[in-house]
Amino acid sequence: MSYTRDVGAAAFIIAVRVQLLRDTGAALSPFNAFLLLQRLETLSLRVERHVQNAETIVDFLVNHPKVEKVNYPKLADSPYYALAEKYLPKGVGSIFTFHVKGGEEEARKVIDNLEIFSDLANAADAKSLVVHPATTTHGQLSEKDLEAAGVTPN
């Protein structure tokens, strides 16, 4: 389904309503509301740690000889660096991408040898994840569409 195509100007509000109802139900149970409130109390601390961990990993990858490229808005060579500095002074989050030298086979070796990160395509999980977009989240796209989306096999 394409919300924009199917419902036009109301796309955003319909998507939010449909997805929120799907994920939480029409109303939270008292216990689920309690759990949500408990988790919200430490959210800022957890996000701060996520950002610190991401920056540490990004620094490692930038200097690694087998890494071709790292995408992270806080890197000085990022096209989003100035915006990140202006609007996100406390950090840009914990999501980054990197390209492994040697193509898809080498990228798969990296993923298969990770010990802390899980090879899963369910973003926004509580786990540390690694995803190979060309064969998972974007696997249904043609080579032309992958290229247009900036998704490479490495």
pLDDT of residue 142: 86
Instruction: Identify which has the larger pLDDT, 52 or 2.
Output: 52
Cα–Cα separations (whole angstroms), residue 112 to 32, 107, 117, 118, 132 = 35, 9, 10, 9, 11
Instruction: Identify which has the larger pLDDT, 21 or 75.
Output: 75
Q: Kindly indicate the confidence band of residue 111, based on its pLDDT and cuts at 50, 70 and 90.
A: very high
Token look-up 């990770």 returns 114
Global pTM value: 0.73
Instruction: Identify which has the larger pLDDT, 36 or 25.
Output: 36
- With 80 as the cut, is the pLDDT of residue 1 above it? no
pLDDT tens-digit profile of 29-84? 899 889 989 999 999 999 999 999 999 999 999 999 999 999 999 999 999 999 99
Q: How many CB atoms lie within 10 A of CB 116?
A: 7
pLDDT of residue 122: 75
Domains of the chain, with CATH numbers? Answer: 1-41 (no CATH), 43-149 (3.90.1150.10)
Mean predicted confidence (pLDDT) in 96-101: 94
